[in-house]
Amino acid sequence: MRCPNCGSGENKVVDSRVSDSANSIRRRRECEKCGKRFTSYETIERISLLVVKKDGSRQAFDSQKIKNGIIAATEKRAVSIKQIDAIVDRIEAKIAENFQTDQEVPSSYIGELAMEELRKIDEVAYVRYAAVYRQFKDISTFFEFVKNLEKEISDLDAAEQ
């Protein structure tokens, strides 16, 4: 990304936000040489990132994998493919907002985003996803998780009344 004023390639991002359509990210940049500010747009489909897994291995970011995980968690639930696509879009947009091209993203970050999204639309899907993602050590840890979840939900219900 070159400065339109002086052609320098050195710049810093001063602001980034996702466009309304959620498929491009707008970055406000400032040239480190001449100080001129300019805007760049990056298509989210184009982001190339490395995902770092818990075991330290790395692989290219692939939104299809996120989608597959969500499809598995929402199986036989009243969640449409449209909703799933929207979730994947939002996750990608969040990642693009917080990481720049060629940076490494921890897989845990993506997992947390997916859980957050599922939680908003379907409790069962959320629990399923969490069960796989968090890899509960044993059944009692899992029940502990469900118990906390129930409590949180009933607190929420109480707050709404």
Nearest approach, Cβ of residue 15 and Zn ion (Å): 17
Q: Which stretch binds Zn ion (CB under 5 A): 2-10, 19-27, 47-55, 66-74?
A: 2-10
Nearest approach, Cβ of residue 99 and Zn ion (Å): 24
Distance, in Å, from the CA atom of 19 to the CA atom of 9, rounded to the nearest integer, reads: 24
Give the CA distances from residue 45 to residues 49, 57, 80, in Å, rounded to whole numbers and listed in that order: 11, 23, 22
Rule CB under 5 A: say whether 147 interacts with Zn ion: no
Region of 75 (left: φ > 0; alpha: ψ -120 to 50; beta: rest) is: beta
Nearest approach, Cβ of residue 1 and Zn ion (Å): 11
Q: Which is nearer to Zn ion, 33 or 53 (CB)?
A: 33
Q: Which is nearer to Zn ion, 34 or 81 (CB)?
A: 34
Residue partners of 10: CB distance under 8 A and separation at least 6: 31, 32, 33
Size of the site for Zn ion (CB under 5 A): 8
Place of tokens 């709404």: 160
Show contacts with Zn ion in window 5-44 (CB under 5 A). 5-6, 8, 31, 33-34, 36
Nearest approach, Cβ of residue 36 and Zn ion (Å): 5
Q: Which is nearer to Zn ion, 10 or 155 (CB)?
A: 10
The encoded tokens of residue 58 equal: 């790395």
Q: Residues interacting with Zn ion, by CB under 5 A?
A: 3, 5-6, 8, 31, 33-34, 36
